[in-house]
Each structure stands twice: as C-alpha cells, then as structure tokens.
Amino acid sequence: MNATPDLARLNAELESKPPHDIITWAVKTFWPDIAMSSSFQTQSLPLLHIVSQVAPQLPILFLDTGYHFPETLAFRDQLVLEWKFNLQTVRAVMPRDEFVRQHGDDLYRKDPDLCCYINKVEPMERAMKGLRAWISGIRRDQSATRTDIQVLERTPDGVLRIHPLATWTRKDVWQYVHDHHLPEHPLLSQGYLSIGCAPCTRHVQEGEDERAGRWAGQEKTECGLHTLLRTGTDTPTDYQAATPAQEPTAITGESHRG
Ligand code: SF4
C-alpha cells in the first residue's frame, strides 16, 4: 500500500478503534464530502445500524444494477423506512433498453467484467466525484482478495476509502446482529451469506467461505469496486464505445429519507 506518513499514522491509530469511533471521526472530518455504500445484506447491518445512530444524515449509496433479487430491494426499503437513512440510488448511465440492445440480456454471462464495469464500477466512480471520503463495510476475513485492506486507503482519484469493519470477523458481525436483534435478509436462511446480483449469486455450501457463492464457477471474485478502485481503474476496452456521449447525472437523487 502507498501510505503517506500521515495515513500510516492514522491507520495505526484507527486499527484498534471500534467502528462507532471510526465513523464518528470520518463524518466529522470530511462532512459534507463523504458517503457510504451499502448492498443491504445481513452482513451490512452492523455498519448501517451504527450509522443510523451516530450519523443518520450520511448519504448511503445503493447501486441499483437492475439485477438485484426482489428480496434485497424489499429488505432495503424496509430498513430505509425503519431507520430513516439518507438513501441515494446510483445507476448506470446507459438506460436498460439501450444496454440490452447493445449487449443482450446476458452480458453477465458473456463478459461479467464489462457488465460489472457498466453497472457498478463506473456508476460508483461517478457518484464519488466531489467526495473526499467513502465508507464501505468490507472486511479482511471475507476473502483472499481482502486480507490486506487497511482501515484507510487512498484511491488513485484521491478519495479516501474508509473501512470501519476491516478488523472484524464474520463472528463479530453475527454477534452484533444477535446482540442488537437486527433483522435478517430474507435469503440468509436459504444459505445466501453474501448477496449481489441474482444471476451471479448462489447459496453457499457448508464449509465454503462467505463469498463462495459470488460468480461461482468463474475466475471472477470481485465486481471491481473494491479492487480496481484501490489500484487504478482498468476500463474495459470496449466500454468507451458503448457509453453514450452525454454527461450522466451522478446520482439519480431519489431520496428515501423520511
Ligand atoms: S454482479 Fe453480475 S449481473 Fe451484477 S453487474 Fe456484475 S456481472 Fe452484471
């Protein structure tokens, strides 16, 4: 990691801090140029719950890829209603009918990296324009690609990534969910430990790691949000040609805050 001395010092200080303290520090330091992303699955709940207590005004970015399970959308709506989040929906610049016209309705099968780039990475990069800090709930113990994440990381664009749960384990997450009587994503009981888009997610078998059901049977293990944005974005070569020329709206502006 290319940590500046200050970043290294801050990381050393924050490594042992609880998520409440990290979020409080981050919002105080970077407000209003800060947001959090969430995929609204059960493992997202501790961070969402903490934010609802210490920084309910924080924008929560939700990537609407158009491929979510209906259960995820219903769970998101339930939480937004109950916890009063400042939800901001982020979408691809390309309208869905144009996307299907150009790529067919199974790009996730033919070229999942391009599909993720169009529907996840580019919209999130666009949503982060003007931000100085971005909070997400990734943890070191989730997969082999996340074992070295730091609490604070600088993206190539200069945005500071903040991972308040970097040091937490899966057990810590479930303990928090249990202790605070938090609700469960409706698909958790069917073995969906990590939930993304429906075509690219299956339930997890006994003994598999929690992300084993994501892009199962493929080399792909990450959508790109948490890898490309750490190391520099490799834009898929045919994306420029596939993207309409007009400047997109960064965030659709759908606010669900009650
Ligand atoms: S997870 Fe699958 S459906 Fe969702 S954007 Fe990526 S490739 Fe497309």
- Retrieve residue 139's tokens: 């943890």
The CATH superfamily assigned to 7-187+224-234 is HUPs (3.40.50.620)
Residue identifier of the C-alpha nearest atom 4 of ligand 1: 197
Our mutation pick for probing the ligand 1 site, out of 197, 201, 226, counting the most ligand atoms within 8 A of Cβ, is 197
The alpha carbon of 29 and the centre of ligand 1 are apart by a number of angstroms equal to 34
Residue range 124-145: mean pLDDT, rounded:
90
Residue 256 tokens read as: 């669900």
Which ligand 1 atom is nearest residue 119's CA?
Answer: 5
pLDDT score at 203: 75
Between 190 and 31, where is the model more confident? 31
Best residue among 41, 62, 67 to mutate for probing ligand 1, ranked by most atoms within 8 Å of CB:
67
Using alpha carbons, select from 156, 135, 137 the residue that is nearest to residue 59: 135
Mean pLDDT of the chain: 83
Cβ pair 180, 49 in contact under 8 A = yes
DSSP state letters, 151-189: SEEE-TTSPEEE-TTTT--HHHHHHHHHHTT----TTGG
116 Cβ inside 6 Å of ligand 1: yes
User: CA 183 from chain center: how many Å?
Assistant: 19
Length of the chain: 258
In this prediction the pTM is 0.81
Higher pLDDT, 215 or 165: 165
